């Protein structure tokens, strides 16, 4: 059987990425920032595409179709540029040759996608898939649910900010949607800016700040003035508090009225935020959850389906995600490993494979370790080029566990890279969760980040319920939810316990990440706990390391004690 290849892309906004879907399976996926080293890059993912073709030993002409998670036809309400003879502007001369020699055709009245074909060329067809359909597909087609309710939320797609849908076999039906200017993502982003952080970028810092135990009832009353929940299951923003124009000299989303409401003169960043800012962040989290639960209850009424898919950048809000099963009628939840736009390379490609080409939905491997891999000779070359002493570890699992127990900070680079925003044990920094000083040590020597922000734990999957209150949740493999630490363990795991006694835990099993699983087993033998601190292998502000060269550079530019790349070990002498 001839292989069917789809090259999926996300490009145009933040977090450019590319993936290859081979016969319906994610074969490889790469975030462009990991290669061009520009965090959240918007650049076209040309480096990722080249690496994918090189790694899979194929040419662009082997690709059957290309997809992208954005459909510009949505913006062409009146004008329909089919072929060059109908293009009406001088600038359209750019298309004369492609339109005529390659016979390029744009078919845009197809529902939730636009198809571009080139009849006289080997270049593959191009499908522009609606942004929120790409988000929905990234969730539903990576899940193993045969049917599920689907909620997507982000800042914006072409127009949509929220969609309510139903996935069934190989199809996704959009039931309802909400458009800009009413957007939950924008709501959170606006307050993120008001608190002095970067919108569409640092929302998780605001979420982490909301864990302080302060009374924020007054701030909740004020934020509630900024939106209305509607009887039809949607919501609306009160326009005087939000800047909607992308034009003019406004370069922020809050208005003077919003500044006045909170008696703030100017949005300013504080490394140690004031009590006032913390209270606003806590109230913001509360109100955002109120809106999200309003959506979720509406979705349940629409679908009556117990399975839930969440996708879109808003669902990087792990605090909200951890409460959903407890507070709604949904019983099973799946959030993909890259719910933000990063994952729309995968989502758009899977929508083509299933939704458009109507291939049968099969059990899918939702393993997030689909990134680049480096061979031992490449690793050895990178080390030797720098004339560094190294050792080959015979039992790296035991060695890493012992070093962590001795409060060393270990950078761990292993096999294929994970795809998504979080390090899941292939490009991770590991530490001792029992240590009282490990947080400060990592912050001062590597991360240089706000002191209130927590570090996450990784735990052996079967042990999750012993240490965390998880509402029957059996696994949380992508750190997608925050859970409370059980009372018996409060005070015993200071390295990974957040201010409100919660943790954004990752479960690890022997099938998808056996090396990390074995390290956790060894750590349990020594410490009694099958848990390690796991934070991303990068310095604050930089993308997570991808190659051995990145890893070695970051190791020497920071206070990391030990670097393990596959079985190669480098140690700093102290
Ligand atoms: Fe999005």
Cα-to-centroid distance, 472 and ligand 1 (Å): 30
Domain 184-334 in CATH 3.40.50.1220? The answer is no
Cα-to-centroid distance, 251 and ligand 1 (Å): 20
Query: If you count them, how many residues does the chain have?
Result: 574
Q: Which residue has the tokens 């709604």?
A: 328
3-class SS of residue 509? coil
Q: Is the pLDDT confidence value at 271 over 80?
A: no
CATH node for 376-571:
3.90.870.20
Contact 374/34 with Cβ under 8 angstroms?
no
Burial of 509 from C-beta contacts in 10 A (0-12 / 13-18 / 19+): middle
- Phi, psi dihedrals of residue 121, rounded to the nearest 5°: -135, 155
Cα-to-centroid distance, 336 and ligand 1 (Å): 13
Cα-to-centroid distance, 177 and ligand 1 (Å): 14
Nearest CA among 80, 81, 18, 83 for reference residue 55? 18
Cα-to-centroid distance, 445 and ligand 1 (Å): 34
Cα-to-centroid distance, 154 and ligand 1 (Å): 5
Q: Provide the whole-model pTM.
A: 0.94
Contact 203/316 with Cβ under 8 angstroms?
yes
Cα-to-centroid distance, 254 and ligand 1 (Å): 21
Cα-to-centroid distance, 380 and ligand 1 (Å): 39
The mean predicted confidence, pLDDT, of the chain is 92
User: Could you tell me whether strands 332-334 and 307-311 are parallel, antiparallel, or unpaired per DSSP bridges?
Assistant: parallel
Nearest CA among 136, 196, 138 for reference residue 160? 136
pLDDT attached to residue 246: 54
Distance (Å, whole) CA 480 – CA 343: 14
145-192 residue pLDDT tens:
999 999 999 999 999 999 999 999 999 999 999 998 999 999 999 999
Three-class SS of 145-213: CCEEEEEEECCCCCCEEEEEEEEECCEEEEEEEEECCCCHHHHHHHHHHHCCCCCCCCHHHHHHHCCCC
Q: What is the mean pLDDT of residues 198-207?
A: 85
Cα-to-centroid distance, 343 and ligand 1 (Å): 9
3-class SS of residue 9? strand
300-314 residue pLDDT tens:
999 999 999 999 999
31-55 residue pLDDT tens:
999 999 999 999 999 999 999 999 9
Report every protein residue that has its C-beta within 5 angstroms of ion ligand 1: 154, 341
Distance (Å, whole) CA 310 – CA 149: 9
pLDDT attached to residue 82: 53
Cα-to-centroid distance, 156 and ligand 1 (Å): 6
| CATH 3.90.870.20 residue ranges for the chain | 376-571
Cα-to-centroid distance, 401 and ligand 1 (Å): 38
Q: Is the pLDDT confidence value at 89 over 80?
A: no
Q: Is the pLDDT confidence value at 344 over 90?
A: yes
Q: What is the mean pLDDT of residues 347-353?
A: 97
3-class SS of residue 349? helix
Cα-to-centroid distance, 195 and ligand 1 (Å): 23
Banded model confidence at residue 248, pLDDT cuts 50, 70, 90: very low
Cα-to-centroid distance, 332 and ligand 1 (Å): 23
53-65 as b/e: b if 16+ CB within 10 A? beeeebeeeebbb
pLDDT attached to residue 249: 47
pLDDT attached to residue 444: 86
Cα-to-centroid distance, 403 and ligand 1 (Å): 40
3-class SS of residue 486? coil
Q: Which residues pair with 412 in a beta bridge?
A: 428, 564
469-478 residue pLDDT tens:
998 889 999 9
Cα-to-centroid distance, 312 and ligand 1 (Å): 5
Q: Give the percent of the chain with pLDDT over 90.
A: 74
Cα-to-centroid distance, 106 and ligand 1 (Å): 24
Q: What is the mean pLDDT of residues 341-356?
A: 97
Cα-to-centroid distance, 122 and ligand 1 (Å): 31
Contact 427/484 with Cβ under 8 angstroms?
no
Cα-to-centroid distance, 385 and ligand 1 (Å): 41
456-468 residue pLDDT tens:
999 999 999 999 9
216-227 residue pLDDT tens:
899 999 999 999
Contact 139/335 with Cβ under 8 angstroms?
yes
Which of 81-90, 119-128, 290-299, 545-554 shows the lowest per-residue confidence on average (mean pLDDT)? 81-90
Cα-to-centroid distance, 480 and ligand 1 (Å): 17
In degrees to the nearest 10, what's the CA dihedral of 486, 492, 495, 499?
50
pLDDT attached to residue 247: 44
Which of 180-184, 201-205, 322-326 shows the lowest per-residue confidence on average (mean pLDDT)? 201-205
Whether residue 215 is preceded by a cis peptide bond, meaning omega within 30 degrees of 0, is no
In degrees to the nearest 10, what's the CA dihedral of 196, 315, 341, 115?
-140
H helices of 42-163, in order, are 46-56, 96-101, 131-140
User: Could you tell me whether strands 65-68 and 5-10 are parallel, antiparallel, or unpaired per DSSP bridges?
Assistant: parallel
What's CA 280's distance to the chain center, in Å? 25
Burial of 297 from C-beta contacts in 10 A (0-12 / 13-18 / 19+): middle
pLDDT attached to residue 87: 62
| CATH 3.30.420.40 residue ranges for the chain | 184-334
387-399 residue pLDDT tens:
999 999 999 999 9
What is the distance in angstroms between the CA of the first residue and the CA of the last residue of the chain? 58
Residue of 88 and 411 predicted with greater confidence = 411
Q: Give the percent of the chain with pLDDT over 70.
A: 96
Nearest CA among 276, 293, 270 for reference residue 218? 276
Cα-to-centroid distance, 136 and ligand 1 (Å): 10
Q: Which residue has the tokens 């994610």?
A: 26
């Amino acid at each position: 059987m001839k292989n069917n290849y789809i090259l999926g892309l996300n490009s145009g906004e933040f977090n450019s990425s590319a993936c290859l879907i081979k016969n319906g399976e994610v074969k490889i996926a790469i975030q462009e920032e990991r290669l061009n080293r520009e965090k959240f890059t918007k650049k076209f993912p040309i480096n990722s595409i080249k690496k994918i073709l090189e790694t899979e030993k194929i040419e662009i002409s082997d690709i059957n179709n290309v997809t992208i998670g954005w459909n510009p036809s949505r913006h062409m309400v009146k004008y329909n540029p089919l072929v060059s003879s109908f293009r009406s502007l001088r600038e359209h001369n750019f298309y004369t040759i492609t339109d005529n020699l390659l016979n390029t055709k744009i078919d845009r009245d197809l529902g939730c996608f636009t198809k571009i074909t080139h009849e006289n060329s080997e270049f593959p067809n191009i499908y522009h898939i609606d942004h929120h359909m790409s988000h929905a597909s990234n969730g539903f087609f990576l899940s193993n649910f045969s049917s599920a309710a689907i909620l997507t939320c982000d800042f914006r797609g072409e127009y949509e900010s929220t969609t309510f849908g139903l996935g069934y076999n190989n199809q996704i039906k959009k039931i309802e949607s909400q458009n800009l200017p009413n957007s939950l993502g924008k709501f959170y982003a606006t307050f993120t800016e008001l608190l002095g952080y970067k919108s569409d970028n640092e929302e998780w810092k605001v979420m982490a700040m909301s864990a302080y135990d302060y009374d924020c009832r007054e701030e909740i009353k004020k934020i509630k003035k900024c939106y209305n929940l509607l009887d039809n299951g949607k919501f609306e923003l009160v326009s005087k508090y939000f800047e909607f124009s992308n034009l003019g000299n406004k370069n922020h989303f809050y208005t003077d009225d919003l500044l006045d409401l909170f008696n703030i003169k100017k949005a300013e960043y504080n490394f140690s935020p004031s009590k006032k800012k913390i209270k606003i962040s806590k109230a913001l989290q509360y109100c955002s959850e109120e809106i999200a639960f309003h959506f979720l209850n509406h979705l349940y009424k629409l679908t009556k389906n117990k399975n839930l898919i969440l996708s879109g950048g808003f669902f990087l809000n792990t605090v909200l995600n951890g409460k959903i099963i407890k507070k709604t009628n949904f019983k099973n939840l799946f959030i993909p490993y890259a719910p933000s736009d990063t994952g729309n390379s995968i989502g758009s490609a899977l929508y083509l494979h299933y939704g458009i080409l109507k291939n049968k939905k099969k059990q899918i491997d939702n393993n997030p370790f689909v990134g680049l891999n480096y061979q031992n000779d490449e690793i050895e070359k990178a080390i030797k080029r720098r004339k560094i002493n190294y050792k080959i570890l015979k039992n790296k699992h035991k060695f890493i566990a012992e070093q962590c127990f001795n409060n060393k900070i270990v950078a761990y680079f292993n096999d294929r890279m994970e795809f998504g925003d979080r390090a899941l044990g292939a490009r991770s920094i590991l530490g001792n969760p029992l240590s009282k000083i490990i947080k400060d040590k990592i912050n001062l020597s590597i991360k240089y980040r706000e002191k209130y922000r927590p570090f996450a734990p990784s735990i052996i999957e079967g042990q999750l319920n012993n240490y965390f209150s998880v509402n029957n949740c059996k696994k949380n493999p992508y750190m997608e939810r925050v859970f409370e630490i059980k009372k018996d363990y409060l005070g015993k795991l200071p390295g990974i316990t957040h201010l409100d006694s919660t943790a954004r835990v990752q479960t690890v099993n022997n099938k998808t990440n056996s090396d990390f699983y074995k390290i956790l087993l060894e750590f349990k033998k020594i410490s009694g706990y099958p848990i390690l601190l796991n934070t991303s292998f990068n310095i604050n502000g930089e993308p997570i390391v991808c190659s051995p060269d990145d890893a070695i550079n970051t190791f020497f530019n920071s206070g990391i004690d030990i670097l393990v790349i596959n079985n190669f070990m480098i140690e700093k002498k102290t």
